[in-house]
Amino acid sequence: MKPIQSIIAAMLLSLTFACNNSGKKACTTHEKHDDTELAHWGYEGDEGPEQWDKLCPAYSECKGHHQSPIDISSDLSTSTDIEIHQNYSYVSGVDFVNNGHSIQVNFNDAQKNMLNVNGKDFILKQFHFHFPSEHTIDGKELAGEAHFVHVSEDGHISVLGVFIEEGEPNDFIERLTHHIPAKEGETTTVTESICAQSAFSEHDDFYVYEGSLTTPPCTEGVNWFVRKTHMQATHEQLEALHKVMPDHNNRPVQPLYDRKIGELADL
């Protein structure tokens, strides 16, 4: 496996890294991947988003020109002919992790939840939450955002982004609230059967663009599919998720630069 793919794989399973970095404040623990030390990062102060690219060399892409999230301007979007298909099934026994940056549900490859993009399969590895939303629509921030992260056999990444707004009860989120890992570093098991497809409408339109992971190492070349229809959840359900996470774990929007935003109709 190429070094950057090893970093990506580790990143998708756990968003918490810490290391001793020359010239930086020493952390109490560290983890190394292919002799690359990955620095602890956060959302405020010396470890906040404005400093990510300076924390260690592995995060240098955080200052790139194809970064996520972005502000999605409906006036700038154009139609696209990308073809995507979802194939999600009900699973149980998945791990629910509190990694200190977010709460994240991990899947394994055997569960075969897939997204197919132009004939190429991407396996669902995990989904996690951001409060408030990371992407914005015409400058407007939503209450939250869920990211469903998929990886192909050759290490490429496709992410489904789903905005969350306060509204009607959400059965999918309700099932998760029964198993929330309350403390950083804690892992629980979701014993109830869940299906990622039930988190959103069966058919929807999408905004499509090329971007990056929204957390270090900020790897670029990520296919982003942001649903136009928002997921709803009650105030109590949103609070149950948010209260075990940082007050805000959303990276600020990044410049669009030379990229185009596409629109994809009816997945």
Catalytic machinery residues: 101
Distances (CA, A) of 22 to 26, 27, 61: 8, 11, 19
Angstrom distance (rounded) from CA 46 to CA 51: 6
Sign of CA dihedral 122, 12, 31, 38: positive
- Alpha carbon of residue 200 to chain centroid: 16
Strand-pair category, 220-227 with 157-166: parallel
Angstrom distance (rounded) from CA 92 to CA 194: 6
Q: Which residues have a Cβ under 8 Å from the Cβ of 228 and sit 6 or more positions away?
A: 204, 205, 206, 207
Tally the C-alpha atoms within 13 A of residue 29's C-alpha that lie toward its C-beta: 3
Q: Where are the beta strands (DSSP E) in the chain?
A: 32-33, 36-37, 71-72, 77-79, 84-87, 94-98, 103-106, 114-117, 120-130, 136-137, 144-151, 157-166, 187-190, 206-212, 220-227, 231-233, 261-264
Asked if 146 and 162 touch (Cβ cutoff 8 Å), the reply is yes
